[in-house]
Amino acid sequence: MNIFIIFSITFAHVFLGNGVSNANPLPYEAIFNFGDSVSDTGNAATNHPAMPSNSPYGSTYFKHPSGRFSNGRLILDFIVEAYGLPMLPAYLNLTDGQDIKKGVNFAYAGSTALDQTILKQKSINVDAAAYSLSTQLDSFKKLKPSLCKSEEECDSYFKNSLFLVGEIGGNDINAIIPYKNITKLRELVPLIVEAISNTTTQLIKEGVVELVIPGNFPIGCNSAVLATVNTNKEGDYDQFGCLTTYNAFIEYYNEQLKKAIETLRQQNPNVKITYFDYYGAAKRLFQAPQQYGFSSGKLETFKACCGKGEPYGLSAQFPCGSFSQATVCSDPSKQINWDGPHFTEAAYRLIAKGLVEGPFANPSMKSPPFKIV
């Protein structure tokens, strides 16, 4: 009898233990993402000729081009991994019958926050603006019936999902940078912020209750911007080697975005909107590169790993992937910048870690079940 009782207790403990385990799901059932090349996992690649298998893009992690504009994983990849979800499939690559219940990525490299018509009215031509934020939102709405069937099912599903709205707007800004006109850049800010706010509002109307809105990076430290502006005036740069005026512009932009987020929070008290401080998470890498394992020096810190040219390892003639001339650094993990506009996997990992595990998210994210290592 005693043996039977012990067996029964042991069986019950194992059975119930498994039941409790199954009753504690991952923090998010799904993650959905909108954005540009910073988070594109293959959408733009569907509309362009395939990169050769020996392209340096994707070489560090995937060992082949993966549709990502880096040598490896992106911030988004590290986030979904930390929350125990698979890497997000690109919307334009979806196939019939593919499992999309754990999330989808709508980000498109080169895309803009503003619609193409608005940009053309301002004499700004960005081809990928055809895949602007509003277009990505329309794609989500088209996909929604495949995700959930009834209002009740959708409410339950979205209650346990996370939506990332951006980073977006960087390409709107990049289109003006060659003109070196800060006034024109500032004129775009309210329009970009409004586009992000409107998309967020529409997602909330669709039943979304948890969103992330990232700010923009310190573009004054960006290799492509440094190479484009390249003023040769010492007073234009801060003590680390970043362009002071362009970082000040992004600080202004991010402040306007945060004000809009606060308004959205007041209008939607039952919705959680987290601000991702991309600026702070990235700038610390440029300010203390050695602390994070990167090469240091006023020029070395900002050199792109992939490309060719002086002084930042970049030129329009020999971009990353042009095999006849462009070179790839021996150890991408020692460089912050990958190809000019984009970071290396090593930099993206540290940025993601600062967002998910703190302190660069406000309010903080749900505790991830897995560490970013």
- What does the pLDDT read at residue 14? 36
Q: How many CB atoms lie within 10 A of CB 155?
A: 13
13 given a catalytic annotation? no
The residues, any chain, with a CB within 8 Å of residue 176's CB and separated by 6 or more, are 124, 184, 185, 188
The confidence score (pLDDT) of residue 19 equals 35
- Starting at the edge strand found earlier in the chain, the sheet holding 161-165 runs 30-34, 161-165, 210-214, 272-276, 361-362
Contact 165, 199 (CB under 8 A): yes
Mean predicted confidence (pLDDT) in 59-75: 96
Note whether 137 and 164 are within 8 A (CB): no
- Is 48 considered catalytic here? no
Phi, psi of 366 (to 5 degrees): -60, 145
209 and 272 Cβ atoms separated by less than 8 Å: yes
Judged by phi (left if over 0) then psi (alpha if -120 to 50, else beta), residue 309 lies in left
Mean pLDDT value of segment 174-194:
97
Q: Encoding tokens for residue 274?
A: 């987290």
Output b/e per residue, 331-350; b: 16+ Cβ within 10 A.
ebbbbbbbbbbbbbbbbbbb
pLDDT-wise least confident of 4-18, 90-104, 293-307: 4-18
Checking DSSP bridges between strand 272-276 and strand 210-214, what pairing results, if any?
Answer: parallel
| Cα distance between residue 208 and residue 210, in whole Å | 6
Q: For the chain, give the mean pLDDT.
A: 92
What is the reported pLDDT for 180? 94
Whether 238 has a pLDDT exceeding 80, the answer reads yes
Of 160 and 322, more confident: 160
* Mean pLDDT, rounded, for 35-41: 98
pLDDT at 17 over 80: no
Rg, C-alpha atoms of the chain: 22
Residue 266, C-beta contacts closer than 8 angstroms, at least 6 positions apart:
none
Question: Kind of pairing, strands 272-276 and 361-362?
Answer: antiparallel
Q: Give the confidence band of 53 by pLDDT, cuts at 50, 70, 90.
A: confident
Total-model pTM:
0.93
Active-site pick, 55, 70, 339, 367 = 339
- Residues 6 or more apart in contact with residue 333 via CB below 8 angstroms: 60, 293, 344, 345, 346
Band of the pLDDT at 185, cuts 50, 70, 90? very high
Residue 22's pLDDT band (boundaries 50, 70, 90)?
Answer: very low
Active-site residue identified among 155, 296, 342, 364: 342
Where does the pLDDT of residue 18 fall: very low under 50, low under 70, confident under 90, or very high at 90 and above? Answer: very low
Sign of CA dihedral 339, 341, 344, 345: negative
Which helix (H) or strand (E) covers residue 112, if one does? none
Per-residue pLDDT, 24: 55
Q: 337, 65 in Cβ contact below 8 A? A: no
pLDDT cut 90: percent of the chain above it: 87
The one catalytic residue among 13, 21, 37, 155: 37
pLDDT at residue 232, as a whole number: 86
pLDDT band at 154 (very low <50, low <70, confident <90, very high): very high
